[in-house]
Structure 1
Amino acid sequence: MSSTVSDVIAALDTAYPRELAELWDAVGLVCGDPAEPVERVLVCVDPVAATVAEAVEWGAQLVVAHHPLLLRGVHGVGTDTAKGRLVHRMVRSGVALFCAHTNADSAVPGVSDALAERLGVRVSRPLAPHADGRTGLGRVGELAEPVPFAEFVRRVAAALPATEPGVLGAGEPDRLVRTVAVSGGAGDSYLATAAAEGVDAYVTADLRHHPAGEHREQDGPALVGLTHWASEWPWCEQAARVIRNAGDLDVRVSTRCTDPWTMRVGSGG
């Protein structure tokens, strides 16, 4: 018996309960018929032109994305807008779109668990726990053995897909790193939380100049700065495993880099 869109949604809702989503978030089915059969599913971070084109070209009936397409309220999806064109292309091509965002961030395992696993960090607890003490944003853990910060930054770069901005490090190269906090996506709002945890290093994305600079002045954990896309891409394989377990489905993780930065000029050495 073939799987349907609703079968895949049920599996994803079990893995990433919607009640874990932040109140401002927009998760769930964006377009498509829950009753339609599914044979191929594409998993990606961003539902953008490149990943929608990949899904259509491959013959997928469902795209599962981390980031919402329609996060803020809209009054229409006309083809005179970029997002409207995507919705029309998916509907015309018979491709449904499902998004699991902050619910996937807070679930166990979730986005930051996938990032930690790629970096060799053994997770012990959430960085910003919910009331149950188990779910929540970010993760705290440790490496099997301490390594110099410079070596840790190189490991991070090797473990994640390449982007034009690359991976940045802020800290003394010889500083030993054993305990690590990670947060997939924009995480500089948790700089003080990571410092309070007493970790040696904090890995996250979208670090801004002033918060990062003030953090360093206060002798907080060393920082490893990633692009948003690279920090959340490991989750795609985690979600793909959830979908594969839901039925006899062909599931592909998109490797198309949807990081917005496409050029870097100059070098810091």
Structure 2
Amino acid sequence: MEIQAVLKNVRWLAPEELQSGWDNSGVQVSGVADKADKVAVTLEPTPEAVTRCLEWGASLVVTHHPLYMKPKAPTGGAYLDVLRALIRADAWLYAAHTSLDSAPEGPAFWLGDDLDLQNRRVLEPGTVTTPIEVSFYAPTPLGREDGERWADRDGVHSVSQSAAGEVRLIVERDAWPFVAEAIAFGQGERPEFYVRELVEPRTVAGLGEMGELPEELAFDDFLQRLHGLTGRRYLPHCGPRPEMVRTVAYCGGSGSSLAHRAAGADVFITGDMKYHPAVDAGTEGSVCIIDAGHFSIEEEMMRRFAAELGAALEGVEVRFFPGDDPFRWSVAEI
């Protein structure tokens, strides 16, 4: 598949316009390869991880964390090692960072999926979008198979055709370029589209999420469930210890700065909890904060993202390369 077509699909799953203003989601290194039959997905763009991906034969490596936040000179260290490896392989490097974190119903919200949270809402809204209404004239009646094929595409809400031949679709803005290509292919030419923005329904994109468990759990039982989901033996927590857990808020990665947005939740799950915020979590009105680990939450997110990308790319092999948790534990009896 053409490399630009592959990148188009990556951007569809992790729209760059959803990234935070301080972020650097997008192409990190432009490669020479113009096609890709193998795409590697991994969490970190470390020399070791990128080398494993390139040795497998990947023409494109997609990571979560960017190689850099601001342009810098390749004067040495891991940054230069990654550049050298990619250039030798003619390969591309792309980062889906907060663009993936904010993608509605994307893999960043896997914890809410696995906890079966109800009444889910975004913790820190960033972007609000609405679907678009697209109409065009089809000189021949729309076949049942064509209509069902378009309607089955992700992001398409409805497809209809009038007796006069006018076809009307309600489609998500991000999905429209892909649907337009499918329509042009099916019609044999690209029709003249009339596009109108709708007011509702609104899709809110942003960081983190809050929702309710189907049934409340005792705090210790909830912790045991979280141990199983994250694969972590240790789950440090701070702040008031609830007897029961019903309302859960979470944000992967370094999400402790969103703890103030979790008001009303019984627990807030994130990674990278620091000492002074942990002290402050003991004040009145605070929420119990559970540090489930930056690595464990986002490693699982990227594994699921690889599966989504693989389903979207026909004829391209997508493989997830597990990362390495940088932390090691030493346990001793004292």
Displacement of 1:136 in angstroms is 0.8
Displacement of 1:171 in angstroms is 5.8
- Do the aligned partners of 2:281 and 2:288 also contact (CA within 8 Å) in 1? no
- Do the aligned partners of 1:243 and 1:251 also contact (CA within 8 Å) in 2? yes
Match of 2:108 in 1: 112
Partner AA of 1:175 in structure 2 = E
Which residues in structure 2 correspond to 1:43-122 (within 5 Å)?
Answer: 43-74=41-72, 76-78=73-75, 80-122=76-118
**% identical equivalent positions:** 29
- Do the aligned partners of 1:153 and 1:169 also contact (CA within 8 Å) in 2? no
TM-score by length of structure 2 reads 0.71
Partner AA of 2:253 in structure 1 = G
Q: Distance in 2 between matches of 1:135 and 1:14?
A: 14
Partner AA of 1:155 in structure 2 = R
1:52 match: secondary structure = helix
Match of 1:226 in 2: 292
1:264 match: secondary structure = coil
Verify: 1:180 aligned to 2:261, yes or no.
no
Could you give the per-residue CA deviations for residues 103-147 of structure 1, whole angstroms, max 9, x where no partner exists? 111111235312322444346110111252611110111222211
Aligned residues: 259
Could you give the per-residue CA deviations for residues 177-197 of structure 1, whole angstroms, max 9, x where no partner exists? 1110110111111111102xx
Partner AA of 2:277 in structure 1 = P
- Do the aligned partners of 2:239 and 2:278 also contact (CA within 8 Å) in 1? no
- Do the aligned partners of 2:44 and 2:323 also contact (CA within 8 Å) in 1? no
Verify: 1:190 aligned to 2:186, yes or no.
no
Displacement of 1:84 in angstroms is 0.8
Match of 1:124 in 2: 120
Partner AA of 1:17 in structure 2 = P
TM-score by length of structure 1 reads 0.87
Q: Distance in 1 between matches of 2:250 and 2:333?
A: 26
Verify: 1:38 aligned to 2:106, yes or no.
no
Among 153, 168, 183, the residue aligned to 2:223: 153
Match of 1:28 in 2: 26
C-alpha change, 1:103 and 1:261, in structure 2 (3 Å) is: same
2:204 match: secondary structure = coil
Structure showing greater Rg: 2
1:46 match: secondary structure = coil
Displacement of 1:60 in angstroms is 1.7
Displacement of 1:34 in angstroms is 7.2
Match of 2:208 in 1: 138
Q: Distance in 1 between matches of 2:297 and 2:281?
A: 20
Match of 1:240 in 2: 306
Gaps of 5+ in 2: 129-202
Q: Distance in 1 between matches of 2:127 and 2:41?
A: 30
1:185 match: secondary structure = coil
Verify: 1:255 aligned to 2:255, yes or no.
no
C-alpha change, 1:96 and 1:236, in structure 2 (3 Å) is: same
Displacement of 1:86 in angstroms is 0.8
Partner AA of 2:313 in structure 1 = A
Displacement of 1:96 in angstroms is 1.5
CA RMSD of aligned residues (A): 2.3
Displacement of 1:35 in angstroms is 5.6
Could you give the per-residue CA deviations for residues 187-216 of structure 1, whole angstroms, max 9, x where no partner exists? 111111102xx0111100111111122122
Which residues in structure 2 correspond to 1:10-25 (within 5 Å)?
Answer: 10-25=8-23
Could you give the per-residue CA deviations for residues 11-46 of structure 1, whole angstroms, max 9, x where no partner exists? 121122111111221111112337622122121111
